[in-house]
Chain A
Protein backbone atom coordinates (compact mmCIF):
# COMPACT_ATOMS: atom_id res chain seq x y z
CA UNK A 1 0.00 0.00 0.00
CA UNK A 2 2.81 2.41 0.90
CA UNK A 3 4.49 1.91 -2.49
CA UNK A 4 1.26 2.79 -4.30
CA UNK A 5 0.80 6.00 -2.27
CA UNK A 6 4.43 6.98 -2.88
CA UNK A 7 4.15 6.35 -6.63
CA UNK A 8 0.99 8.49 -6.87
CA UNK A 9 2.76 11.28 -4.94
CA UNK A 10 5.79 10.95 -7.18
CA UNK A 11 3.82 11.41 -10.40
CA UNK A 12 1.65 14.24 -9.03
CA UNK A 13 4.72 16.17 -7.86
CA UNK A 14 6.43 15.54 -11.23
CA UNK A 15 3.40 16.98 -13.08
CA UNK A 16 3.31 19.99 -10.75
CA UNK A 17 7.07 20.58 -11.13
CA UNK A 18 6.71 20.89 -14.88
CA UNK A 19 3.49 22.81 -15.31
CA UNK A 20 3.21 25.22 -12.34
CA UNK A 21 4.02 28.74 -13.57
CA UNK A 22 5.94 30.12 -10.58
CA UNK A 23 9.58 28.84 -10.70
CA UNK A 24 9.86 28.74 -6.89
CA UNK A 25 6.81 26.47 -6.54
CA UNK A 26 8.07 24.46 -9.48
CA UNK A 27 11.40 23.79 -7.74
CA UNK A 28 9.52 23.00 -4.49
CA UNK A 29 7.49 20.38 -6.39
CA UNK A 30 10.72 18.97 -7.84
CA UNK A 31 12.06 18.65 -4.28
CA UNK A 32 8.91 16.64 -3.44
CA UNK A 33 9.66 14.43 -6.48
CA UNK A 34 13.17 13.73 -5.19
CA UNK A 35 11.84 13.06 -1.69
CA UNK A 36 9.20 10.61 -2.97
CA UNK A 37 11.85 8.85 -5.07
CA UNK A 38 14.13 8.46 -2.03
CA UNK A 39 11.20 7.16 0.07
CA UNK A 40 10.28 4.72 -2.73
CA UNK A 41 13.84 3.36 -2.78
CA UNK A 42 13.84 3.10 1.00
CA UNK A 43 10.46 1.30 1.08
CA UNK A 44 11.72 -1.20 -1.49
CA UNK A 45 14.85 -1.98 0.57
CA UNK A 46 17.38 -0.04 -1.52
CA UNK A 47 18.69 1.98 1.43
CA UNK A 48 21.99 3.13 -0.12
CA UNK A 49 20.18 4.31 -3.23
CA UNK A 50 17.74 6.26 -1.03
CA UNK A 51 20.57 7.99 0.83
CA UNK A 52 22.38 8.92 -2.39
CA UNK A 53 19.15 10.15 -4.00
CA UNK A 54 18.44 12.31 -0.97
CA UNK A 55 21.97 13.75 -0.85
CA UNK A 56 22.12 14.49 -4.59
CA UNK A 57 18.58 15.90 -4.51
CA UNK A 58 19.39 18.32 -1.69
CA UNK A 59 22.50 19.59 -3.53
CA UNK A 60 20.67 20.01 -6.84
CA UNK A 61 17.74 21.79 -5.22
CA UNK A 62 19.93 24.24 -3.31
CA UNK A 63 21.42 25.39 -6.61
CA UNK A 64 18.08 25.28 -8.41
CA UNK A 65 16.38 27.53 -5.85
CA UNK A 66 19.09 30.14 -6.38
CA UNK A 67 19.06 29.90 -10.18
CA UNK A 68 15.25 29.71 -10.20
CA UNK A 69 15.10 33.06 -8.45
CA UNK A 70 17.77 34.47 -10.75
CA UNK A 71 16.30 33.20 -14.03
CA UNK A 72 12.64 33.86 -13.35
CA UNK A 73 10.80 36.83 -14.80
CA UNK A 74 10.04 39.52 -12.27
CA UNK A 75 6.35 39.60 -13.16
CA UNK A 76 4.34 37.49 -10.73
CA UNK A 77 2.54 34.60 -12.38
CA UNK A 78 0.05 32.39 -10.59
CA UNK A 79 -1.41 29.05 -11.54
CA UNK A 80 -5.19 28.73 -11.34
CA UNK A 81 -6.69 26.16 -8.89
CA UNK A 82 -8.40 24.43 -11.86
CA UNK A 83 -5.04 23.88 -13.52
CA UNK A 84 -3.55 22.51 -10.28
CA UNK A 85 -6.55 20.18 -9.93
CA UNK A 86 -6.08 19.00 -13.53
CA UNK A 87 -2.38 18.36 -12.90
CA UNK A 88 -3.15 16.32 -9.76
CA UNK A 89 -5.76 14.34 -11.73
CA UNK A 90 -3.24 13.71 -14.52
CA UNK A 91 -0.72 12.44 -11.96
CA UNK A 92 -3.27 10.05 -10.45
CA UNK A 93 -4.34 8.75 -13.88
CA UNK A 94 -0.73 8.24 -14.96
CA UNK A 95 0.00 6.23 -11.80
CA UNK A 96 -2.90 3.79 -12.38
CA UNK A 97 -1.01 1.45 -14.79
CA UNK A 98 1.90 1.22 -12.34
CA UNK A 99 -0.48 0.30 -9.50
CA UNK A 100 -2.69 -2.23 -11.29
CA UNK A 101 -0.15 -3.98 -13.53
CA UNK A 102 1.72 -6.93 -12.05
CA UNK A 103 5.33 -6.28 -11.03
CA UNK A 104 8.61 -7.75 -12.24
CA UNK A 105 9.74 -10.75 -10.23
CA UNK A 106 13.23 -11.89 -9.30
CA UNK A 107 14.95 -13.99 -11.96
CA UNK A 108 18.03 -14.97 -9.96
CA UNK A 109 20.07 -14.85 -13.15
CA UNK A 110 22.90 -12.82 -11.60
CA UNK A 111 25.12 -13.34 -8.58
CA UNK A 112 23.92 -11.78 -5.33
CA UNK A 113 26.79 -9.33 -4.67
CA UNK A 114 26.67 -7.02 -1.65
CA UNK A 115 26.75 -3.24 -2.17
CA UNK A 116 30.39 -2.87 -1.05
CA UNK A 117 31.55 -5.76 -3.23
CA UNK A 118 29.63 -4.47 -6.21
CA UNK A 119 30.94 -0.93 -5.81
CA UNK A 120 34.62 -1.51 -5.05
CA UNK A 121 35.42 -4.95 -6.46
CA UNK A 122 33.21 -5.13 -9.57
CA UNK A 123 33.14 -1.39 -10.40
CA UNK A 124 36.31 -0.02 -8.76
CA UNK A 125 37.80 1.14 -12.07
CA UNK A 126 34.51 2.80 -13.03
CA UNK A 127 34.45 4.73 -9.75
CA UNK A 128 37.98 6.06 -10.28
CA UNK A 129 37.27 7.00 -13.90
CA UNK A 130 34.04 8.75 -12.94
CA UNK A 131 35.92 10.74 -10.32
CA UNK A 132 38.33 11.86 -13.05
CA UNK A 133 35.42 12.84 -15.33
CA UNK A 134 33.77 14.88 -12.56
CA UNK A 135 37.09 16.57 -11.74
CA UNK A 136 37.50 17.50 -15.41
CA UNK A 137 33.94 18.88 -15.59
CA UNK A 138 34.47 20.93 -12.43
CA UNK A 139 37.73 22.36 -13.79
CA UNK A 140 36.02 23.14 -17.12
CA UNK A 141 33.20 25.05 -15.44
CA UNK A 142 35.67 26.94 -13.23
CA UNK A 143 37.70 27.95 -16.31
CA UNK A 144 34.56 29.11 -18.20
CA UNK A 145 33.36 31.19 -15.25
CA UNK A 146 36.85 32.65 -14.68
CA UNK A 147 37.21 33.63 -18.35
CA UNK A 148 33.79 35.28 -18.28
CA UNK A 149 34.73 37.19 -15.14
CA UNK A 150 38.04 38.41 -16.56
CA UNK A 151 36.41 39.27 -19.91
CA UNK A 152 38.31 36.63 -21.88
CA UNK A 153 41.71 38.40 -21.44
Chain B
Protein backbone atom coordinates (compact mmCIF):
# COMPACT_ATOMS: atom_id res chain seq x y z
CA UNK B 1 0.00 0.00 0.00
CA UNK B 2 1.53 3.31 -1.11
CA UNK B 3 0.09 6.34 0.62
CA UNK B 4 2.07 8.78 -1.51
CA UNK B 5 0.24 7.46 -4.59
CA UNK B 6 -3.07 7.75 -2.70
CA UNK B 7 -2.46 11.37 -1.73
CA UNK B 8 -1.24 12.13 -5.26
CA UNK B 9 -4.53 10.73 -6.59
CA UNK B 10 -6.45 12.99 -4.16
CA UNK B 11 -4.36 15.95 -5.30
CA UNK B 12 -5.02 15.11 -8.96
CA UNK B 13 -8.79 14.84 -8.36
CA UNK B 14 -8.77 18.18 -6.51
CA UNK B 15 -6.77 20.01 -9.18
CA UNK B 16 -8.93 18.52 -11.96
CA UNK B 17 -12.06 19.69 -10.13
CA UNK B 18 -10.54 23.12 -9.58
CA UNK B 19 -9.86 23.49 -13.31
CA UNK B 20 -13.13 22.08 -14.64
CA UNK B 21 -15.87 23.20 -12.21
CA UNK B 22 -17.43 26.66 -12.50
CA UNK B 23 -19.57 26.53 -9.35
CA UNK B 24 -18.08 28.25 -6.29
CA UNK B 25 -19.18 25.43 -3.95
CA UNK B 26 -17.41 22.83 -6.12
CA UNK B 27 -14.28 24.99 -6.17
CA UNK B 28 -14.38 25.04 -2.37
CA UNK B 29 -14.81 21.25 -2.28
CA UNK B 30 -11.80 20.92 -4.64
CA UNK B 31 -9.68 22.99 -2.24
CA UNK B 32 -10.84 20.78 0.66
CA UNK B 33 -9.82 17.64 -1.28
CA UNK B 34 -6.38 19.07 -2.04
CA UNK B 35 -5.91 19.91 1.65
CA UNK B 36 -7.07 16.41 2.63
CA UNK B 37 -4.58 14.85 0.19
CA UNK B 38 -1.74 16.90 1.67
CA UNK B 39 -2.57 16.04 5.28
CA UNK B 40 -3.11 12.38 4.36
CA UNK B 41 0.40 12.18 2.93
CA UNK B 42 1.81 13.89 5.99
CA UNK B 43 0.07 11.75 8.61
CA UNK B 44 0.55 8.41 6.89
CA UNK B 45 4.28 8.93 6.41
CA UNK B 46 4.71 10.12 10.01
CA UNK B 47 2.54 7.28 11.31
CA UNK B 48 4.44 4.61 9.37
CA UNK B 49 7.65 5.99 10.92
CA UNK B 50 6.10 5.61 14.40
CA UNK B 51 6.25 9.26 15.43
CA UNK B 52 3.88 11.56 17.29
CA UNK B 53 5.43 14.60 15.64
CA UNK B 54 3.48 14.12 12.42
CA UNK B 55 0.18 13.98 14.28
CA UNK B 56 1.09 17.08 16.30
CA UNK B 57 1.90 19.01 13.14
CA UNK B 58 -1.37 17.76 11.64
CA UNK B 59 -3.30 19.50 14.43
CA UNK B 60 -1.63 22.75 13.40
CA UNK B 61 -2.38 22.04 9.73
CA UNK B 62 -6.04 21.40 10.62
CA UNK B 63 -6.35 24.73 12.40
CA UNK B 64 -4.93 26.53 9.37
CA UNK B 65 -7.23 24.55 7.08
CA UNK B 66 -10.28 25.42 9.19
CA UNK B 67 -9.40 29.13 9.24
CA UNK B 68 -8.92 29.01 5.46
CA UNK B 69 -12.29 27.29 5.02
CA UNK B 70 -14.02 29.91 7.17
CA UNK B 71 -12.57 32.78 5.11
CA UNK B 72 -13.42 31.11 1.78
CA UNK B 73 -16.99 30.35 2.89
CA UNK B 74 -17.54 33.91 4.13
CA UNK B 75 -16.30 35.32 0.80
CA UNK B 76 -18.38 32.77 -1.10
CA UNK B 77 -21.59 33.76 0.70
CA UNK B 78 -20.90 37.48 0.21
CA UNK B 79 -20.18 37.10 -3.54
CA UNK B 80 -23.23 34.88 -4.10
CA UNK B 81 -25.54 37.30 -2.28
CA UNK B 82 -24.11 40.27 -4.19
CA UNK B 83 -24.34 38.79 -7.69
CA UNK B 84 -27.25 36.35 -7.17
CA UNK B 85 -25.39 33.39 -8.68
CA UNK B 86 -22.57 31.03 -7.74
CA UNK B 87 -21.33 30.48 -11.29
CA UNK B 88 -17.87 31.98 -11.81
CA UNK B 89 -18.43 32.79 -15.51
CA UNK B 90 -21.67 34.66 -14.81
CA UNK B 91 -20.06 36.57 -11.92
CA UNK B 92 -17.13 37.61 -14.15
CA UNK B 93 -19.56 38.69 -16.89
CA UNK B 94 -21.60 40.82 -14.47
CA UNK B 95 -18.43 42.28 -13.00
CA UNK B 96 -17.07 43.28 -16.43
CA UNK B 97 -20.45 44.79 -17.43
CA UNK B 98 -20.49 46.84 -14.23
CA UNK B 99 -16.91 47.91 -14.93
CA UNK B 100 -17.81 49.03 -18.47
CA UNK B 101 -20.80 51.01 -17.19
CA UNK B 102 -18.57 52.75 -14.68
CA UNK B 103 -16.07 53.67 -17.42
CA UNK B 104 -18.82 55.02 -19.71
Residues of A at the B interface (CB closer than 8 Å) are 3-4, 7, 10-11, 14-15, 17-19, 23, 26-27, 30, 33-34, 37, 40-41, 44-46, 48-49, 52-53, 56, 59-60, 63-64, 67-68, 70-73, 94-95, 97-99, 101-119, 122-123, 126-127, 130-131, 133-134, 137-138, 140-141, 144-145, 148
Give 1 or 0 for each of B46-85: 1 = CB within 8 Å of chain A CB: 1111111111111110111111011101101110100001
The residue on B at minimum CB distance from A68 is B25
B94 at interface (Cβ–Cβ under 8 A)?
A: no
Among the listed A70, A131, A137, which residue makes an inter-chain contact with B70, where contact means beta carbons less than 8 Å apart? Answer: A137
Tell me the smallest distance from the CB of A22 to a CB of chain B, in Å.
Answer: 11
Give 1 or 0 for each of B22-35: 1 = CB within 8 Å of chain A CB: 01111011101100
A50 to B28, CA, bound (A): 22
Known contacts A56-B65, A94-B9, A94-B13; is A14 also within 8 Å of B33 by CB?
A: yes
Among the listed B1, B10, B86, which residue makes an inter-chain contact with A11, where contact means beta carbons less than 8 Å apart? Answer: B10
The residue on B at minimum CB distance from A47 is B55
Most buried by B among A46, A138, A141: A46
B6 at interface (Cβ–Cβ under 8 A)?
A: yes
A15 to B13, CA, bound (A): 7
Q: From DSSP, what is the main secondary structure of chain B's interface residues?
A: helix
Tell me the smallest distance from the CB of B37 to a CB of chain A, in Å.
Answer: 9
Residues of B at the A interface (CB closer than 8 Å) are 1-6, 9-10, 12-14, 16-17, 21, 23-26, 28-30, 32-33, 36, 39-40, 43-60, 62-67, 69-71, 73-74, 76-78, 80, 85-86
A102 to B3, CA, bound (A): 9
Further contacts, 17 of them, CB under 8 A, given A14-B36, A94-B13, A106-B48: A14-B13, A17-B29, A18-B13, A49-B43, A56-B65, A71-B24, A73-B86, A97-B9, A101-B2, A103-B3, A106-B50, A113-B53, A118-B53, A118-B56, A134-B63, A137-B67, A141-B74
Could you write out 9 A-B pairs with CB less than 8 Å apart?
A: A7-B1, A10-B10, A14-B14, A56-B62, A97-B2, A103-B3, A112-B52, A117-B52, A118-B51
